[in-house]
């Protein structure tokens, strides 16, 4: 159990946010104020304020006569998050590659090595740390902060995807190749691989989420950019 001494609404919000983003609280999990207050050793006031804060962040919804519960991110919003990644991350990588040094490459390689032995619980955080290491020299802090929030918002669904597929092996292969291209300062092929990697994960993750939710997918809505980016990654024109 977490140390909750001197707990405030901000602390409660941080605890609940971590549980939601880590997947400890699944979509639809009920957030009972009385139960949480008893667990955390505080009054209902900071719990109520924390729930309101998380509702404003889109992590919680309140339904009349049912109360607050963990919000389910719609599939189209999950896909939109990846589309934003596909725009932001190649831009950040392009700005960062010319200035990356051996310490940055070593940091990225260390995360790859760490991910080889990680369970599902730590995968999302490590995935973000790998990508962040490659954007270390982009000089665009606001965009990196925005990107981190996007990564955090989809982390719980990435965990579902990893449980249902062999996506870990493909991710490790892509990450190793991406790091090699960054070392070679090959911006064109590195950004092409990164874009393809993000969009492929998007399609497969959405499919995993729909399977987990018991939905049927009529067809794979693959991004048209995938084929062209694959050619660029392989050095084709």
User: 19, 52, 70 — which closes off a domain?
Assistant: 70
Whether residue 121 is found in the same domain as residue 225:
yes
Domain tally, the chain: 2
Q: Any idea of the CA torsion for 101, 103, 104, 109, to the nearest 10 degrees?
A: 130
Cα 40 from chain centroid?
27
pTM over 0.85: no
Q: What is the CATH number of the domain that holds 57?
A: 1.10.10.10
Residue 195 in any domain: the answer is yes
Whether residue 124 is found in the same domain as residue 212:
yes
Residue 1 in any domain: the answer is no
pLDDT 10s digits, 40-50: 999 999 999 99
Reading the block at residue 142, the tokens are 């606001």
pLDDT 10s digits, 8-42: 999 999 999 888 877 788 888 999 999 999 999 99
Residue 91 in any domain: the answer is yes
pLDDT 10s digits, 67-114: 999 988 888 999 999 999 999 999 999 999 999 999 999 999 999 999
Q: Using an 8 Å Cβ cutoff, are 71 and 109 in contact? A: no
Residue 39's domain spans which residues? 9-70
- Dmax (CA) for the chain in angstroms is 64
């Amino acid at each position: 159990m977490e140390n909750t001494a001197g707990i405030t609404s901000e602390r409660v919000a941080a605890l609940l946010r971590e549980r939601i983003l880590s997947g400890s609280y699944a979509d639809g999990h009920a957030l009972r104020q009385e139960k949480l207050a008893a667990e955390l050793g505080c009054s209902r006031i900071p719990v109520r304020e924390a729930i309101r804060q998380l509702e404003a962040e889109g992590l919680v919804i309140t339904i009349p006569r049912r109360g607050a519960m963990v919000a389910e991110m719609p599939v189209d919003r999950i896909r939109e998050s990846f589309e934003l990644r596909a725009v932001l991350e190649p831009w950040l990588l392009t700005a960062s590659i010319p200035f990356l040094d051996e310490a940055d490459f070593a940091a990225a390689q260390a995360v790859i090595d760490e991910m080889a032995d990680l369970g599902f619980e730590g995968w999302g955080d490590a995935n973000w740390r790998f990508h962040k290491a490659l954007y270390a020299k982009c000089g665009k802090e606001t965009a990196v902060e925005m990107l981190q929030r996007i990564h955090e918002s989809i982390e719980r669904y990435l965990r579902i995807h990893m449980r249902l597929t062999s996506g870990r092996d493909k991710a490790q292969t892509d990450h190793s190749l991406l790091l090699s291209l960054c070392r070679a300062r090959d911006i064109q092929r590195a950004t092409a691989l990164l874009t393809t990697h993000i969009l492929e994960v998007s399609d497969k993750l959405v499919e995993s989420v729909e399977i987990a939710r018991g939905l049927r997918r009529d067809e794979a809505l693959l991004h048209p950019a995938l084929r062209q980016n694959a050619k660029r990654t392989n050095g084709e024109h």
